[in-house]
Structure 1
């Protein structure tokens, strides 16, 4: 079972427009509402594929109640931690060419007791094979929250993965989690310099592995994903002809990767599963996560010899 901790979940409202026009009245052609936040998305994706996941999250205010209702409707098991503030509402504006504009609220302020309860709840779930700390931190949460999660997971004998950015990711990396999943930009921020080619990303990932992180998986958008551990450097990507929404695609990639690893699949096969789930998510509206039926007909190209010269983001 995979336990996800989302310190700053959201109600995700996806609004589809013919074209976004600033300063004008924009009339939606479609609206979708889902439970959101990186860890919540990971749990939703695993559940939709028939796997076992539990979402741990703070809930408060009307949006918090809606979050719980949405998770219950999706069949996602949860451990809710009551907080005084209200959960956030995030809005994604989707255009027909796949362009996604996101408006993210800051989220509720968490005090020390609420933060401690979140961490204790995540560490106390019996039967966990992975604990995953995901996403940004809400106001008031300490930057070392994920580092504390790593320590708690280690004491419980559970592997831990982190998907975050900025100072929280840097603090977590210093505590050497079993896996990190930054995207291209987050990895560049972490190492302190641009990474224009796949070879640059590969070198940065190998350096992190040499400093104690067992697995580094980097999501690269349309360029797929790269996985590096002590024994492998694997690149996988899938081609999507008509992207609909990129919201949550990286979360679905992480979900597929962990789903594979938790079942004992080799790292390369797990990466392929992750890239397949992420690619399928791009074909779906809003932050909808793929079901098994959505995975059909999406080929994944996998190589154990990543092309170091590949320029990233060149479309």
Structure 2
């Protein structure tokens, strides 16, 4: 089973407006609401692609109940622990006219030591039935920056594949534990390495640095410019297909899920990168994170060119 860790899940709300104008009242054309947070998005996408998945982290208050109620219909096994406070609300406003997206993300509940101890017990139990652990997203207040690093160490000690998709200090600390796979986007990798990543060549060089630090596989997503992946066999670039764009929310998470599905099937890096890029693009064609049509993924896969660098 794939175990996803989302320390800071969210109730995601998406508003589609004709044109976002600061200081004006807007009445959305469409409203979407779903369980969010990077790990939940990964689990939702993985299930859609046929991979049994569970999700754990911290849920709190009424918003937490709304998130939990949406897990079973998505066929995601609920491994969350309940804590005091209120799960965050994350709002995305999509401007149909310009194709841009504005996000407002709350910080999440403050996690105390008792909640951290309870989580550790739950995480240890869930590891018993997991072959891969994906550690995803930001950390809520009260959770130390080294949180992911500790979980990576626990999973690796049991021979479980580890995946890290976060940013800032949690990414920096997590890399010290040497996860098997990391998937930053260009901005996250730039911030970590202290160098601009604007071209495919820049991304390939960044991948090389990650590999030198012991990571087995790395993929850096470049948005509409595609993605670069690298492992011990070399580096590859996947072009982004032309699509009818709707929203980028969750596309990186779907990319990660699809990459893992192909990895577990034994596909080589170029195949993983191609399929993951297609899945991420399919997500960008609809409103909602971790939501896509599987037949669209198949159609897009054949249109994506993958080149060895």
Paired position in structure 1 for 2:114: 113
Q: Is the 8 A contact 2:49 2:261 kept in 1?
A: no
Alpha-carbon distance in 2 for matches of 1:224, 1:99:
18
Counterpart residue number, 1:313: none
Deviates more, 1:7-16 or 1:119-128: 119-128
Structure 2 partner of 1:80: 80
Greater displacement, 118-127 / 3-12: 118-127
> Matched residues in 2 for 1:232 and 1:117: separation?
41
- Match for residue 177 of structure 1? 179
Name the structure 1 match of 2:10. 10
Matched, 1:154 2:156: yes
Measured on the aligned residues, the alpha-carbon RMSD in Å equals 1.3
Structure 2 residue 231 is matched with structure 1 residue 236: no
Post-superposition Cα deviations, 1:79-135, rounded to whole Å, max 9, x if no partner, equal 120111211110000122431111100000011221233244234223312101100
Q: What residue in structure 1 maps to residue 37 of structure 2?
A: 37
SS at match of 2:71: helix
In 2, the alpha carbon distance for the partners of 1:271 and 1:123 equals 31
After superposition, the C-alpha distances for 1:233-274 in whole angstroms (9 at most, x for unaligned) are 011123233200000000000110011112222122111111
Alignment size in residue pairs: 305
Q: 1:237 to 1:118 in 2, by over 3 A?
A: farther
Q: Secondary structure at the match of 1:271?
A: helix
CA 1:214–1:34 in 2, change beyond 3 Å: closer, same or farther? same
Alpha-carbon distance between aligned partners in 1 of 2:137 and 2:85, rounded to the nearest angstrom: 18
1:131 to 130, 133, 146: 133
> Cα distance 1:288–1:211, how it changes in 2: closer, same or farther (>3 A)?
closer
Whole-angstrom distance in 2 between the partners of 1:194 and 1:246: 22
Question: Aligned in 2, Cα 1:41/1:207: closer, same or farther, shift over 3 Å?
Answer: same
Residues 199-278 of structure 1 mapped to structure 2, 5 A cutoff: 199-278=201-280
1-structure distance, mates of 2:61, 2:23: 31
Q: State the distance in 2 between where 1:120 and 1:168 align.
A: 21
What residue in structure 2 maps to residue 309 of structure 1? none
Q: Does 1:193 align with 2:181?
A: no
Match of 1:301 in 2: 305
Indicate the residue corresponding to 1:104 in structure 2. Answer: 105
Counterpart secondary structure, 1:188: helix
Change (3 A) 1:166 1:89: same
Query: Retained in 1: the 8 A contact 2:216–2:232?
Result: yes
Larger deviation, residues 287-296 vs 272-281: 287-296
Gaps of 5+ in 2: none
SS at match of 1:27: coil
Deviation at 1:231, TM superposition (A): 1.3
3-state SS in 2 of match to 1:216: strand
The equivalent residue for 1:94 is: 94
Taking the aligned partners of 2:124 and 2:272, their CA distance within structure 1 comes to 25
| Residue 287 (structure 2) aligned to one of 285, 288, 291 | 285
**SS of aligned partner of 2:204:** helix
Distance 1:57 1:231 in 2: 34
8 Å CA contact 2:6, 2:57 repeated in 1: yes
Q: 1:114 to 1:240 in 2, by over 3 A?
A: farther
> Quick one: distance in 1 between partners of 2:202 and 2:263?
25
